[in-house]
Amino acid sequence: MHKNFLFIQIIICMMMKTISVFVVLSLLVLPIFTSTIIASISTKSDYEAENSGLMDSPWPMFRHDVHHTGRSPHAGGGCTALPKWKVNISGIDIPSPVIDKNGVIYTGSHKLYAIYPNGTIKWVLNISVWGLAIARDGTIYVSTWGKNLYAVNPDGTIKWKCNLRDGASGDPLIGRDGTIYIGTLDSLLADGRFYAVYPNGTIRWSVNLDGCSSAVIHNDTIYTDCCRDGYLYAIYANNGTIKWKKWEGSVGHLSSGPSVDKEGIVYYGSRNGYIYAFYPNGTLKWKYNIGGTYMPPVISENSTLYIASGSNVYAFDRNGTLLWMRKTYSANELVMDKNGVIYGVGEHHVYALNPNGTLRWVWKTNDYLINGPVIGRDGTIYITGYDSKLIGHVYAIEPRDAADLRITGVYYGPTFRCIKIRVKNVGCEPAYNATCEAVVQVPLRFRSKSETIVFTTTVPFIDVGEEKVVKIKDVYLSPFLYRSPLVDLYWESIIKEIRVEGENINPDIYLEGNRCDLITVWGPFVFVGSFLGWLVFGSEWKDTTS
């Protein structure tokens, strides 16, 4: 018994020594481990912490953040995209939306709208809207066409307004201490100013710079370009003193301002045709002629730059080496999701490009798209625009797996009672019961006006990767009821649109954006491209893909 007790004491003693050694080692290692974590956090957050004045939400300000990277931490899935909803907005000059932490979308024109993620309107406030940003406490700052900067509560009530004498020329920028920075434009006296406004609505400082763009901030330096004189300015954020200015050539043209990477390199796309890269001290690092643009480049996590000019999208490394260039549909603004997919919007198209520049998908509309895209938490893409009746809209486009039908060709030449098109499913799901229709405007014989007739055919099934020749049938116009150049010399019918669409299908439009083409229809005889065009040029399949 005594031996057993002694053995137990020895075991307990050894355990206590082991615990003591573990505690000592823990006390020695823990501070090192903790300091390493804190150091890594502080290093990581130096650049990101400049966004601390913003709400932690999917898209709190123009170009997503105070550096205008245009880069979202969110992404949607899917091989294509489908329209989700469309909301009417009063006015057509609708800025890029912003999104709060609850997914509520804010934008407007003559009025400010708050829209739930499902497309229903939460509230409307009767103030004009130029640009928006959402602060950490939920306050929505609104720059306006008028003379006031507004602070609006999340419930749609006005918190305060600050008189800036002139209308805004940029979107609000929120510093980490909550200060709001905004430029104004005086079109008559060239007396616009760039302001710093405290979060309580009082003016902190202002400097006489007219027509300054949406600004960015890095290391307590603000960068903005001013269209009145065509210079890019660096301004000390604490007092408004000008640090330096550099000529960039966009005189008389408002732009969307610069962007800045985590090393402090400032990038600016100019109307004079160049993209510029400036070191933080204002010296030129590089420039490249891409043609005129007014949007800053997207900056990826590894500092690859993507910028649009006309119908082209360019990718550069941070040293100005061109990585690739792709011709796209007309391009204005670009943004990027967390997977590196690039989204663009321009005129009648929203499109997605893979990081290597290949086309991922395109969504078409007859409406005119002007601002966005911005990316929601679930990857939904939001855009603003207006239709042919000048009614403004906010659009929600959902990336997802679905069928994606493309009109790949239209037959120009004679047919009998039909219009022939080629349709291909480039999506990742089969297409069922696809509707193919041609909208034709025809002149009436006994009245000096025309009417619109829609000819329709349904295709039961188009498999993934399959391309079919589709005949839009029953095209017939009686020469006794409708005029025709075969009889009336100069009267001609017009194809306004050819469309393919259906449930769970990304639709396609040929002649989108209210373009048109001639068609001769005389009884059952059909000549796409007109009878005269067939006589002169003959018959051919016209490739309609970009």
Write the pLDDT tens digit of every residue in 90-108: 999 999 999 999 999 999 9
In this prediction, residues 25-49 reach a mean pLDDT of 48
pLDDT at 486: 74
pLDDT surpassing 70 at residue 152:
yes
Residues 317-362 have pLDDT tens digits of 999 999 999 999 877 789 999 999 999 998 999 999 999 999 999 9
pLDDT surpassing 90 at residue 5:
no
State the pLDDT confidence band at 203, using cuts at 50, 70 and 90: very high
pLDDT surpassing 80 at residue 89:
yes
Residue position matching structure tokens 């550069």: 316
Contact, 233 vs 223, CB < 8 A? yes
The token pair at 297 is: 């480049």
In this prediction, residues 487-503 reach a mean pLDDT of 90
CA distance 396 to 59: 14
Mean pLDDT is lowest, of 251-255, 366-370, 428-432, 453-457, for 251-255
CA distance 89 to 371: 13
User: The domain 405-543 belongs to what CATH superfamily?
Assistant: Immunoglobulins (2.60.40.10)
State the pLDDT confidence band at 42, using cuts at 50, 70 and 90: very low
Using alpha carbons, list the distances in angstroms from residue 63 to 172, 215, 222, 290, 329.
11, 11, 16, 21, 21
| Closest C-alpha among 76, 74, 80 to residue 401 | 80
CA distance 499 to 4: 92
For the chain, the domains span 80-300, 405-543
The token pair at 522 is: 């005389």
State the pLDDT confidence band at 18, using cuts at 50, 70 and 90: very low
pLDDT at 246: 95
CATH of domain 80-300: 2.130.10.10
pLDDT surpassing 60 at residue 41:
no
Burial class (CB in 10 A: 0-12, 13-18, 19+), 145: middle
| Closest C-alpha among 134, 149, 66 to residue 103 | 134
Using alpha carbons, list the distances in angstroms from residue 294 to 134, 274, 333, 409.
24, 10, 9, 34
Instruction: Report the phi/psi class of residue 303: left, alpha or beta, with left for phi > 0 and alpha for psi in -120 to 50.
Output: left
Among the residues of 106-178, which ranges form H helices? Answer: none
Percent of the chain with pLDDT over 70: 91
Percent of the chain with pLDDT over 90: 79
Using alpha carbons, list the distances in angstroms from residue 169 to 150, 156, 183, 215, 497.
15, 24, 5, 10, 38
CA distance 78 to 82: 10
pLDDT at 46: 83
Residue position matching structure tokens 């239209």: 410
Contact, 304 vs 319, CB < 8 A? no
The token pair at 73 is: 């931490």
In this prediction, residues 28-32 reach a mean pLDDT of 38
pLDDT surpassing 50 at residue 249:
yes
In this prediction, residues 171-189 reach a mean pLDDT of 94
pLDDT surpassing 80 at residue 488:
no
Mean pLDDT is lowest, of 37-41, 123-127, 451-455, 503-507, for 37-41
State the pLDDT confidence band at 546, using cuts at 50, 70 and 90: low
pLDDT at 119: 98
